[in-house]
Amino acid sequence: MLLRDLYTLSMHNLFLHKIRSFLTSLGIIFGVGSVISMLAISGGAKKEALAQIDAMGIDKIIVYSKAKEQSNTSSSSSTSVLDYGLNYSDQNNILKMENIKRVTTARRLRTPITKGLETLDIELFWVSLHFQEDVNCDVIKGRWLTPSDFENSSTVCVIGRNVKRKIFGLGEKEIVGKTITVGKSNLKVVGVIENKADTKLEGINNLNDSIFIPSTTGVSIFTEYEMIGSISSATIHHVENDLFIVKVDDLEVIDHTAKRISAFMGRAHKTKDWGISVPLNLLRKKEATQNIFTIVMGSIAGISLIVGGIGIMNIMLANVYERRKEIGTRRAIGARKRDILYQFLIETVFLTILGGLLGIGLGIGIAAAITHFSGMPSEVSVISIVGSMAISGIVGIVFGTYPAWKAANENPIKALKAE
Amino acid sequence: MSASREIIRLENLEKTYFKKSLAVPVLKGINLSIYEGEFNGIMGTSGSGKTTMLNILGLLDVPTGGKYYLDGDEVEHFSDDHLAGLRNRKIGYIFQSFNLSPNLTIGQNIEVPMIYGEIPKRDRVKRAKELAESVGLGHRLNHRPTELSGGECQRTAIARALANKPAYLLADEPTGNLDEKTGEEIMRLFHDLHEQQKVTIVMVTHNPELETQFNRVIRLRDGRVVSGND
Ligand SMILES: Nc1ncnc2c1ncn2[C@@H]1O[C@H](COP(=O)(O)OP(=O)(O)OP(=O)(O)O)[C@@H](O)[C@H]1O
Ligand SMILES: [Mg+2]
C-alpha cells in the first residue's frame, strides 16, 4: 500500500485532534529541541576554541609578566621602584632548554600614547623578529620588520589595522611612509598588519590597536624604567619583558616543556610576578567541560525523548481503544492485520516526526537566543538536524509498534461491537 | 432456484462460545446453501444467533464445528491474509449503524475497500463517484458523514460495500437505525441492486413486514434453521 493511501486512511485523525496531537508531541518537541540547541552550542564553543588555537598555533607556550601590587623594599623617598616580570636571563635560560625552537618577546610601553592632550587607546610594543608570524597576523600593507631594522635599531614601526584611523582619522589614504610621534621619537610607518582572529594575549588588549617596533629600537629610544603616576607619588616600573611566546619543536612533550619552564621560573623568581599558559591545554580543558555538558544535556534530552515516547504510546493506546469500531469495520471490509498495523504505526511516526520538526525549530531558536543574550557562539549542524529527524522517526517506531500491534490484533467481532 | 450457482454451503455448522469453562452453544448444526442472485432474509428472535451466523458468513468469525464452503472451497484452512482478501473482494458488509469513518469524506469512505484492494487512485476516484451517483449521492462526494442523514449514511455504506463488485452483500439489520420511511427507501435500493445488478444479498432483520420481500426467509430458532434451507 502506498504511503499516500495510508495517509488517506489515517492522517485525518491527527489533524482532527490538533491540540491533542500537539500536546502529545511536546515531549519529542522538547527532547529534540534540547538536542539541537545543545549540539549547536557545544559545536559553537568548540569552533571558538579551535579558532583561538588556529590563531596562535598549538605549539606555543605563553609566559607573561604579572604586575606586583606594591613595592618590595621601598626606599626612603616617596618614589619607589617596582622591579618585576620576565627578564633577559629568563629568556636565555629558556632558550637553553630542550624542545625549544625559539622565544619571541614583546615589551609594552607603559607610558600612555597621546595626541595633543588626548590619551589614545593605543599601545606600543617592542617585539622580536618573529612576533608577527607567531601571533598569526597578516601584513595587509607594506611590510613587517626586517632583520636589518633590528640590526640598525631603525626608528620604524608596523601598526595594527585600527591605528591609522585612531591617529590620523578617516581622511588619510596612504599610511605607509608617514611618521608617527610617540613621546619624543618619530617612527616611520613601514607596514600595516591585521589580526583576523582578534586574538587576546596576556597583557595585550588587541593586536589591531597596537604599534610594533623592533626590540632593539625600543631599548634604545625608550627605557625599561618607566615612571607611572603623579610626580608626588610616582612609581617606577622596571620591566624587561612582558611576554614570551615559546615555540616548541615537539608538540608531544609540550606539557613536559611547560612544566620545566614553570619549575625554572619558580626557582628564578622570588615572587610570583609571572604566569604561564598552554593554549593546547585550554582547549583540552574546554573539551573536557564540553563533554560533561554534552553528557548531562544528552541525558536530559534522552530522558525527555523516552518520556515523550511513552506519552505518545499512551495516547496511541487510547486512540486504538477509541477507534476499535473503525478497526473492526476496516477488517470487515478487507484490511489485513498488517494494513491496520501500518496505519497506526505511520500515524505515530508522522506524529513524532512532526514533533521532531517543531523541536528542530525550537532548538534553533533556543541556540539563537542563547547566542543573542549570552554571546556564547552556536552553530546548528546539518548532521544534528538529520540525526534528530532520524531519532524522532525511531522514537515513533519504537513507541508506536506496541499500540499498532494491539490495533492489528483486535478481535474484529469484539471491535465491531464497541461503541 | 437450484438452476443458479451455489455460492455458499454450510454443512452442519456449529458455533459454541466458551466463557471460562462454560460452553455456550449458539449455532448447533446449520445446513444451508445460498445461490447466486438470491435475496435472502435471516430472521429469528433476539439472541437466536443471526449476527453470529452473519459474522461467520462474512469470514470475520470462525465456526467451532462443521464446514463452510465458499465457491466450493473449504474456508477453514485459509490464512488470515487470504480471508482478508476474500472479505475485500467477495463480500460487501453493511452494518446497522453504518460504520463510516467520520474524518473521511463520502467519496473517501467509498474508496476505502478499493485502497485495501490496491486499485489505482484514478480508478478508485472514478468508481467512487459512479457508486455515489448510483445511490443518489453524487452531489455529496465531498461531504463528511456527520453532515448527512441516517439514510444517506446507509446509502454511502451500501456504495462502499459494492466498491469491489463483491459476490454477495451481507447486511445486519441495515434499516434498524432508520425511521420507517427511510428504511423503505433503503429496502428499495436493495431491491434495485438485486433486480438490476443481480447482486446476491443476505439480510438479517427483525422486521416481520419485510418477510414478504425476500426470495427466501431463513428462520433461526435455538441455534438451528427451522425453515428456509431450500
Ligand atoms: N462473544 C460471545 N461470548 C459468549 N456468548 C456470546 C458471544 N457473542 C454472542 N453470544 C451469545 O450468542 C447468542 C447469539 O448472539 P447474536 O448476536 O448472534 O444474536 P442475534 O440473533 O443477532 O440477536 P439480536 O437480534 O439481538 O441482534 C446470544 O445469546 C449471545 O449472548
Ligand atoms: Mg444481532
Question: Tens digit of pLDDT for each residue in A49-102?
Answer: 676 666 667 888 889 998 765 544 444 455 677 888 898 899 999 999 999 999
What's chain B's average pLDDT? 92
Tell whether A168 and A135 lie within a shared domain. yes
pLDDT for residue B198 is more than 80: yes
Residue A333 to residue B113, Cβ atoms within 8 A: yes
**Ligand 1 within 6 A of CB of B49:** yes
A405 pLDDT tier (thresholds 50, 70, 90): very high
The DSSP output letter for A252 is G
Tell whether A47 and A64 lie within a shared domain. no
Give the domain-ending residue among A244, A278, A312. Answer: A278
Residue B99 to residue A1, Cβ atoms within 8 A: no
Q: At A376, phi and psi to the nearest 5?
A: -65, 130
User: Which residue in chain B has the smallest CA separation from A412?
Assistant: B60
User: If you average pLDDT over residues B33-56, what whole number do you get?
Assistant: 93
- Residue A326 sits at the chain B interface (C-beta within 8 Å): yes
Say how far apart CA A372 and CA A172 lie, in whole Å.
36
Tell whether A157 and A26 lie within a shared domain. no
Identify the residue whose C-alpha is closest to ligand 1 atom 18.
B49
Q: Tell me the nearest-neighbour CA distance from A11 into chain B, angstroms.
A: 9
Residue B80 to residue A332, Cβ atoms within 8 A: no
Tell whether A205 and A84 lie within a shared domain. yes
Exposure string of B114-149, with b = 16+ CB inside 10 Å and e = fewer, is bbbbebeeeebbebbbebbebbebeebbeebbeebe
Tell whether A167 and A46 lie within a shared domain. no
- Cell numbers 459474522 correspond to B55
Say how far apart CA A162 and CA A208 lie, in whole Å.
6
Q: At B226, phi and psi to the nearest 5?
A: -95, -20
Write the pLDDT tens digit of every residue in A231-240: 667 788 888 9
Tell whether A129 and A226 lie within a shared domain. yes
pLDDT for residue B118 is more than 60: yes
Tell whether A115 and A214 lie within a shared domain. yes
Tell whether A214 and A168 lie within a shared domain. yes
**Ligand 1 within 6 A of CB of B52:** yes
**Ligand 1 within 6 A of CB of B50:** yes
Exposure string of B155-178, with b = 16+ CB inside 10 Å and e = fewer, is bbbbbbbbbbebbbbbbbbbbebb
A23 pLDDT tier (thresholds 50, 70, 90): confident
Write the pLDDT tens digit of every residue in A137-157: 889 999 999 999 999 999 999
pLDDT for the residue B162: 95
Q: Among B112, B156, B173, which would you mutate to test the A interface (most chain A Cβ atoms within 10 Å of its Cβ)?
A: B112
ipTM above 0.90, yes or no: yes
Tell me the helices (H) and strands (E) count for chain A, helix number first: 14, 15
Give the domain-ending residue among A260, A278, A296. Answer: A278
Identify the residue whose C-alpha is closest to ligand 1 atom 5.
B17
pLDDT for residue B117 is more than 60: yes
Write the pLDDT tens digit of every residue in B161-184: 999 999 999 999 999 999 999 999
Tell whether A232 and A312 lie within a shared domain. no
Q: Mean pLDDT highest for which of A294-298, A308-312, B87-91?
A: B87-91
User: If you average pLDDT over residues A387-395, what whole number do you get?
Assistant: 93
Please tell me the distance between residue B47's alpha carbon and the centre of ligand 1 in angstroms. Answer: 5
Say how far apart CA B68 and CA B56 lie, in whole Å.
9
DSSP assignment of B139-200 equals GGTTS-GGGS-HHHHHHHHHHHHTTT--SEEEEESTTTTS-HHHHHHHHHHHHHHHHHH--E
Q: Chains A, B: CB contacts under 8 A, how many?
A: 71
Tell whether A273 and A312 lie within a shared domain. no
Say how far apart CA A176 and CA A189 lie, in whole Å.
5
Spatial contact of A279 and A62, defined as CB atoms under 8 Å apart = yes
User: Which residue in chain A has the smallest CA separation from B103?
Assistant: A12
Q: Which amino acid, A188?
A: K
pLDDT for residue A287 is more than 60: yes
Spatial contact of A127 and A212, defined as CB atoms under 8 Å apart = yes
Residues in chain A closer than 8 A to B154 (CB atoms): none
Tell whether A150 and A232 lie within a shared domain. yes
Helix (H, G, I), strand (E, B) or coil at A59: coil
**Ligand 1 within 6 A of CB of B223:** no
Tell whether A146 and A236 lie within a shared domain. yes
Q: How many domains does chain A have?
A: 2
β-bridge mates for residue B40, sequence order: B202, B216
Range of the domain at A389: 3-52+285-417
Domains, chain B, ordered by start = 38-59+79-216 (3.40.50.300)
Residues in chain B closer than 8 A to A328 (CB atoms): 99
**Ligand 1 within 6 A of CB of B219:** no
Give the domain-ending residue among A225, A247, A278. Answer: A278
Q: At B88, phi and psi to the nearest 5?
A: -70, -45
